Structure formats: structure tokens, C-alpha cells
Amino acid sequence: MKTTTGRRCHRCKGDVELRHAPPSIWEIKYDGAIRQVPVDQMPEWHCAACEVSTLHDDSDEILQDALRKHMRLLRPTELRTARESLGLKQKELADLTGCASESLSRWETGAVLQSRAYDRLLRLFFHLPEAREMLTDLESDPTLGSMAIHSTLKWAQFAASERPMSQGVAEGDPPSYLDPELCAA
């Protein structure tokens, strides 16, 4: 794509043309870390006279798409289609997943990228009826999910006690050397 326009180079005032920059690696900060993101087809204004290039107006969108692809995040159309296939409004999905409806709207329009954590939560929500049911039930039962935490704490304390496995935890009745507060269901 090479297009000449009436635009002028900001340095030498020569003519510039719109072209695609060669493929390159961009460093983009996402989720607290710098990512090395391959970018193809980045439009730029290029001055052949002084070899200066400047980014095109669409560069932000192209960089976001490249980062989304690199991080394997759900695309805006995938988010919207999955939500709509479940018959949910944006506010309903936002309430169930614990995000702001404004954030969900921005993810669906492509204005902002969702975090990897939310991307994973949304994938579970869209693909597992059990995840949808659990998040729905969480509103009425705030202890839901605490059994896994409770069991993990019991096993951690058991492992730290250095007792032989033959004195392990029997179903329903924890060993007496475990903290009674941790064992109380």
C-alpha cells in the first residue's frame, strides 16, 4: 500500500506517502510486564527525502490487535457473541463476573484490552455451565468455594505436623493435632 497525499514531512517539508512499515517487534507494557509483540502491516507516513516515518492514526488499534493476538486474548467480537449467545446483557455478565459494566463495554468495543485474569474467567464462564451456575449461586451463598480453601488449609497444617501418613485425615473426622478452628466446617 503506497498512497501519496497532500501531507508534508514535519522535518523537511517534503511529500510523504502512506505505506506499510516492515514487520517489527514492538515492546508493549501489558499486565505489568513488557511484552515483545510482533507487528505486521503497521501503516506509517514515510518521507523518502529524509527517510523519516511517523505513525498513522490507526496505529493504536493495530498495536492493540497485535497485542491481543500475541497474548491470545478473546477478541471483542468473540466476547460480544459469547455473551449474547447466553442471552445476557452486559450489566448481567458484569455483575456475575465482578467487573464494571463500563469495562465490559470497552472490552467488547475493543477500546481497552481485558486483563489475562478476566480473559480466563470469561472463557470459563462462557464454556462451563458449572462456572456460570457457581457464579450465580455465589450471590446467595458467600461460603461457596470456601470448602476448597478449608481443605487446603487442613492438608497444609497436616503436612507441617510431620506426622506419619498412617495417622492421616480420616473422612469426616480430622486428627486431633489439627487446629480445631480450621477443622470446624
36 confidence band (pLDDT: 50, 70, 90):
very high
The SS3 assignment for 129 reads: helix
183 confidence band (pLDDT: 50, 70, 90):
very low
Number of C-alpha atoms within 13 angstroms, CB side, residue 24?
Answer: 11
Residues of the chain with CATH 1.10.260: 76-138
Say what angle helices 90-97 and 116-127 make with each other, to 10 degrees.
Answer: 110
Domain 76-138, CATH: 1.10.260
- Residue 131 CA to residue 124 CA, distance in Å, equals 6
Q: Write the pLDDT tens digit of every residue in 60-88.
A: 999 999 999 999 999 999 999 999 999 99
Averaged pLDDT for residues 103-130: 95
